[in-house]
Amino acid sequence: MKIVIVGLGVIGGSFAMALKEAGYREVYGIDTNAQTLQKAREMGIIREGQTVGDRLLRDADLVILAIYPQLMRSFIQNHLQHLKPGCVITDATGIKGMFIEDILAMLPEEIDFVFGHPMAGREKKGIDFASHQVFKGANYLITPTKKNKEKNIELIEGLAYEMGFKKVRRITPSFHDEMIGFTSQLPHAIAVALINSDEEGRDTGSFIGDSYRELTRIANINEDLWSELFLGNKDNLLKAINNFELELDLIKKAIHDYDIETLKQYFRKSTKRREGLDS
């Protein structure tokens, strides 16, 4: 199986590393940055790389798109004529609703796009931060469409397990985006708001423990990627933020009313939920 990864950034690079580790030998890369391709070759995670890549795509049995959400539609449009009939495409995008229908409308019957989302990443961008270790034990989501062939969904599922993911789930694109708005985008919005709400000049670093460090780690954020993810999932994210603010307002009210029993009730609920999360 010839695999072509499009975009050898932190996620595409991690895919290449994980595929190498899993024993795949025919892995190729397409990236607009020639230095990135050079690095990937030196790391031994791709056999060959191209900045244009039409030729590589023509031979690809599997194409993995690890590019920004906004580029998804145009990439398919521009490369439709280079894709091999019978090939399978998958992606790594954190939102689905904004392009799935458009892409399905563009693709001919003989090309099958299995949309996927590896729930692992790093805040830093670029191949230098790629690591297949982040995939180990992580969740992988697949959002099948009516056009998908079962064997192709199973191909991606199998690949995910081979790359070290622990749990692979199939869900609808709309439920995917609803959940991701809550579990991924909301935490990023919170982390950014938390650190931005600090007042200037307080030497905050001297007053922090693990909790502040942990809650703000993802405030170090790739602004291009995450602004696209936020805006591409606008309604779900706004709903998640609003639900979160309602809960925070409940806590605020309990503090304001000096209502210790209600506070403890919220804490017991959160403790139970957190303990249940990893079980």
Q: Interface residues for a copy of itself in 124-143 (CB under 8 A)?
A: 134, 138-139, 141
Rounded Cα distance, 37 and 14, in Å: 14
Contact 58, 82 (CB under 8 A): yes
Q: Interior CA angle at 53 toward 127 and 108, to 5°?
A: 115
Rounded Cα distance, 15 and 10, in Å: 9
| Binding status of residue 66 toward a copy of itself by CB under 8 A | no
Query: CB under 8 A: which stretch of 26-34, 41-49, 98-106, 270-278 binds a copy of itself?
Result: 270-278
Query: CB under 8 A: which stretch of 12-20, 39-47, 49-57, 238-246 binds a copy of itself?
Result: 238-246
Rounded Cα distance, 122 and 160, in Å: 18
Rounded Cα distance, 147 and 217, in Å: 39
Size of the site for a copy of itself (CB under 8 A): 89
Query: CB under 8 A: which stretch of 16-24, 96-104, 125-133, 197-205 binds a copy of itself?
Result: 197-205
At closest approach, how far in Å is the CB of 242 from a copy of itself?
8
Name the residue nearer to a copy of itself (CB basis): 41 or 129.
129
Contact 50, 37 (CB under 8 A): yes
Name the residue nearer to a copy of itself (CB basis): 111 or 222.
222
At closest approach, how far in Å is the CB of 206 from a copy of itself?
5
Among residue numbers 157 through 186, which ones bind a copy of itself (CB under 8 A)? Answer: 167, 169, 176, 179-180, 182-184, 186
What CA–CA distances, in Å, run from 87 to 74, 239, 272? Answer: 18, 37, 46
